[in-house]
């Protein structure tokens, strides 16, 4: 297993190019079984979760090639309909093949994802909504077995604006008979990117990006080309990297509009963020001061940036708080940050952070994707050496992070544990 070894205290200077969005690429690739013709995707990040997704498409019978940032998918005349547990357990987003398989094949057998490090994360809202469209589900040997004739349009009101649930239903409804209306739908930019991809393939969708999405089913979707949006969470992470090291970074390909809540919180904390012809420039505009953050569905502050902003708060003046409202167990980075000298206490869904002047490097353990990013950020700012173990979590979602960071002056190397 690999670890990252960081000698902290070096301000980052230079330009970082933001990669394609993991969370947009996953559903957009998993929508491939819906199309009749070949698909060409651009701006696909080279990440472990993307390779897992391509493996799943191969298991379903589609052939794929991945060169640089381009993925080609060739459709299959007959699809398999099983997503095996070995794959689903490594990537929960595999459950997003349920909607496309039911819509295209009338049959799907997808391993039920278990709990994950950040919480229980059930898929009950996906299943209830698909049932409204005519699917029937059984749970057998740990697998969700779904069957249907052609899915029928339905009026679905989600109990909670679930991102994956909205994506699954959006894909399923494209080939359903009649109109589907999704209310209380998630509004994340990655959902709009999925909708734009489906529209480019011939789907009839309106209202994406709002909480009411209308889909008129069509008989088939064709192939085509599509470029994935840039990764707003990766961009937000590098914004914190510039601020926490007192550096000066330009982010190319940065989706600034989709980062509104993060940008306004960082500005409140004393971080300058401005658009320039070269890209988005990030540097401190004053002393860092603490803030209060609550994670919320988009357009609120993203839970996927909670761990990273906490690292910054550890080094900001005064006290701040975080309220995590999306996941029930997303504070596993706290004890690791405390090992570096951070002053944080957790009570239920709230974390209280008292800023300190310095962090001191230590060996720490990554527990999930964004927790790993927060430890890298803290390590970049800490005095001495921070060794982050279980870095495979980071490889799921950040393309060449240590290469990008070393390119702007960080002292960071990957080593064998």
Give the catalytic positions in this structure: 116
Q: Which residues touch 205 (CB under 8 Å, ≥6 apart)?
A: 170, 174, 195, 198, 199, 213, 214, 215, 216
> Which of the 8 DSSP states describes residue 263?
H
Closest among 25, 411, 413, 46 to 226, alpha carbons compared: 25
Closest among 301, 282, 285 to 293, alpha carbons compared: 301
* CB closer to ligand UD1 out of 125 and 176: 125
Closest among 229, 204, 238 to 219, alpha carbons compared: 204
Smallest gap from Cβ 15 to ligand UD1, in A, equals 26
Work out whether 309 is an interface residue with ligand UD1 (CB under 6 A).
no
* CB closer to ligand UD1 out of 190 and 395: 190
Smallest gap from Cβ 262 to ligand UD1, in A, equals 13
Binding mask 320-339 for ligand UD1 (x = CB under 6 A): ------xx------------
Smallest gap from Cβ 161 to ligand UD1, in A, equals 7
CA gap 53, 35 in Å, rounded: 16
Closest among 1, 54, 44, 8 to 23, alpha carbons compared: 44
Work out whether 53 is an interface residue with ligand UD1 (CB under 6 A).
no
Binds ligand UD1 (CB under 6 A): choice among 40, 42, 86, 120: 120
Q: Tell me the Ramachandran region of residue 341: left when phi exceeds 0, alpha when psi lies from -120 to 50, beta otherwise.
A: left
Given the rule CB under 6 A, which of 33-41, 66-74, 121-129, 171-179 is the region that contacts ligand UD1?
Answer: 121-129
Q: Are 294 and 349 in contact (CB under 8 A)?
A: no
Binds ligand UD1 (CB under 6 A): choice among 12, 57, 88, 125: 125
Binds ligand UD1 (CB under 6 A): choice among 123, 239, 288, 371: 123
Binding mask 14-43 for ligand UD1 (x = CB under 6 A): ---------x--x-----------------
* CB closer to ligand UD1 out of 76 and 296: 296
> Which of the 8 DSSP states describes residue 289?
B
Smallest gap from Cβ 343 to ligand UD1, in A, equals 26
Binds ligand UD1 (CB under 6 A): choice among 63, 90, 124, 210: 124
Residues linked to residue 322 through DSSP beta bridges, in sequence order: 293, 351
Smallest gap from Cβ 414 to ligand UD1, in A, equals 24
CA gap 322, 334 in Å, rounded: 12
Binds ligand UD1 (CB under 6 A): choice among 14, 114, 115, 122: 122
- Beta strand 204-206 pairing with 212-216: antiparallel
Angle (CA) 182-187-188 rounded to 5° is 135
CA gap 43, 45 in Å, rounded: 6
State the DSSP string of 297-346: STTSB-GGGHHHHHHHHTTSBSEEEEE--S-SS--HHHHHHHHTT-EEEE
Backbone angles phi, psi at 129, to 5 degrees: -70, -40
Smallest gap from Cβ 36 to ligand UD1, in A, equals 26
CA gap 106, 410 in Å, rounded: 51
CA gap 414, 412 in Å, rounded: 7
Smallest gap from Cβ 309 to ligand UD1, in A, equals 14
Smallest gap from Cβ 231 to ligand UD1, in A, equals 11
Binds ligand UD1 (CB under 6 A): choice among 115, 119, 142, 363: 119
Q: Are 4 and 394 in contact (CB under 8 A)?
A: yes
Backbone angles phi, psi at 343, to 5 degrees: -110, 95
Binders of ligand UD1 in range 182-221 (CB under 6 A): 190
Binders of ligand UD1 in range 289-308 (CB under 6 A): 303-304
Binders of ligand UD1 in range 137-166 (CB under 6 A): 160, 162-165
Binds ligand UD1 (CB under 6 A): choice among 29, 93, 111, 251: 93
* CB closer to ligand UD1 out of 145 and 177: 145
Q: Tell me the Ramachandran region of residue 117: left when phi exceeds 0, alpha when psi lies from -120 to 50, beta otherwise.
A: alpha
Work out whether 121 is an interface residue with ligand UD1 (CB under 6 A).
yes
**What residue ranges bind ligand UD1 (CB under 6 A)?**
23, 26, 93, 119-126, 160, 162-165, 190, 303-304, 326-327
């Amino acid at each position: 297993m690999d670890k990252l070894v960081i000698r902290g205290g070096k301000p980052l200077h230079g330009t970082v190019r933001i990669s394609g969005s993991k969370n947009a690429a996953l559903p957009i690739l998993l929508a491939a079984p819906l199309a009749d013709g070949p698909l060409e995707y651009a701006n696909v990040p080279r990440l472990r979760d993307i390779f897992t997704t391509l493996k799943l498409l191969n298991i379903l019978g589609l052939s794929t090639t991945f060169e640089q940032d381009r993925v080609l998918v060739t459709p299959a005349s007959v699809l398999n309909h099983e997503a095996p547990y070995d794959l689903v357990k490594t990537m929960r987003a595999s459950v997003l093949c349920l909607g496309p398989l039911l819509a295209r094949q009338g049959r799907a057998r997808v391993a039920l994802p278990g709990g994950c490090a950040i919480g229980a994360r059930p898929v009950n809202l996906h299943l209830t909504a698909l049932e409204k469209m005519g699917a029937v589900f059984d749970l057998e040997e740990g697998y969700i077995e779904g069957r249907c004739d052609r899915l029928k349009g339905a009026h679905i009101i989600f109990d909670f604006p679930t991102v994956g649930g909205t994506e699954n239903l959006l894909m399923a409804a494209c080939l359903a008979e009649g109109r589907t209306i999704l209310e209380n739908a998630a509004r994340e930019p990655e959902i709009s990117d999925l909708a734009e991809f489906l529209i480019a393939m011939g789907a009839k969708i309106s209202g994406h990006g709002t909480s009411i999405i209308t889909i008129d089913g069509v008989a088939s979707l064709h192939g085509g080309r599509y470029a994935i949006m840039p990764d707003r969470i990766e961009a937000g992470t590098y914004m914190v990297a510039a601020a926490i090291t007192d550096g000066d970074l330009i982010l190319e390909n940065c989706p600034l509009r989709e980062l509104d809540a993060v940008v306004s919180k960082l500005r409140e904390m004393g971080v300058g963020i401005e658009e320039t012809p070269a890209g988005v420039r990030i540097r401190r505009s004053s002393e860092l001061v603490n803030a209060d953050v609550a994670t919320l569905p988009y357009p609120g502050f993203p839970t996927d940036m909670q761990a990273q902003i906490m690292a910054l708060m550890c080094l900001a003046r005064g006290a701040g708080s975080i309220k995590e409202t999306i996941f029930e167990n997303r504070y596993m980075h706290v004890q690791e940050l405390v090992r570096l000298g951070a002053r944080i206490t957790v009570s239920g869904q709230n974390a209280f952070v008292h800023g300190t002047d310095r962090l001191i490097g230590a060996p720490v353990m990554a527990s999930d994707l964004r927790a790993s990013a927060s430890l890298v950020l803290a390590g970049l700012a800490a005095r001495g050496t921070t060794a982050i173990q279980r870095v495979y979590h980071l490889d799921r979602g950040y393309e060449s992070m240590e290469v990008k960071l070393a390119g702007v002056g960080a002292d960071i190397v990957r080593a064998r544990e």
